[in-house]
Amino acid sequence: MIETNTSLKAFNTFSIDVNAQILFHFNNLKQIPELLDLVKTTRADNKPVLILGGGSNILFCEDFTGLVIKVDLSGVDITESADSYLLKVAAGENWHKLVADCIDKGINGLENLALIPGVVGAAPVQNIGAYGTEFKDFCESVEYLDLNSGALHCLSAKECLFAYRDSIFKTLKMQDALITRVTLKLTKDWQAQNQYGRLKNAAESAQKLSAKQIFTSVCQIRSEKLPDPAKLGNAGSFFKNPLVTAPQAEQLLALYPHMPHYPQPDGQVKLAAGWLIEQANLKGAHIGGAAVHQQQALVLINQNNACAADVIQLANLVRTTVKEKFNINLEHEVRFICAMGESNLTEAVNKCRN
């Protein structure tokens, strides 16, 4: 289905009210020829193309002048072997629903990734992760449609080049990749991953945690500290947890002995962006209708009919203040989408000033 000059407010969890010139609902692979023709026409007019999943990691900065492809592909196929389950999941499936359904079926492994908003097709792009677990830990392969050539391809997990909140799908050469399906492998030899944050505390109060218990704990923890986008517009964690060198971490720990820090295999140290923002006294800070969430400083919220400029200026305030206090550059996890396509915070700030 094709819509023109339509609002995208319902398709982004920040609830920013911007319009798309063309909106195409992609819910069946039989639509590929129609979709490719539309992409070709759009680009011939020198207009941008945006692939949109659940809109849970996006800030629309202004009206989009080109084609938005809303990925609504559905379907889950589960096969079982002696030692594992293989899940082939269409890109438009809701991620949390997939996790919950797996737990209900006794298929364990994804429980740490419960309540992460968005659709399955977005999971490999960001290599979503939480509580010591990442998407890459279970990925077998990712299938995608090349919007340029019209060909369907399949990449192995290794070929996806997964890293912290990163993958090959974020590179320039993969800008035409529309993910259609992912394949996940969940072993029956399940082991609890509960050595992170409050899950570790839960483990200390129970001899053995089940996957269902971890799922319930994760849902409870996330519900307590992360606002429901259906009630308060937000895009989850706005900034990435920064990675610093070991010497820089040691300098900071000398000043802040209780600073959360997580040594990485490559020698770097991961810090908690939310803690840095909180220590910069930014909880509750607001510009226009946008605010830093009182319960979780890592989340920026649409508190009162915020426009995109409110969120942009608030994000810049957070980044600047943390830089001044800790000499750490925060990178935004949220994608900035301007009229002609993907942008970034610096460009968005400059546009606001002009």
Indicate which residues carry an active-site annotation: 165, 237, 333
Provide the 10 A C-beta neighbour count for residue 14.
26
**Selection from 274, 268, 305 nearest residue 288 by Cα:** 305
17, two tokens: 């009210």
Provide the 10 A C-beta neighbour count for residue 59.
26
| Buried b or exposed e, range 280-312, using 16+ CB within 10 angstroms | bebbebbbbbbbbbeebbbbbbbbeebbbbbbb
Q: Are 78 and 86 in contact (CB under 8 A)?
A: yes
User: CA 187, CA 217: separation in Å to the nearest integer?
Assistant: 22
Provide the 10 A C-beta neighbour count for residue 342.
14
3-class DSSP state of 285: coil
82, two tokens: 């002696």
Say which amino acid occupies 120.
V
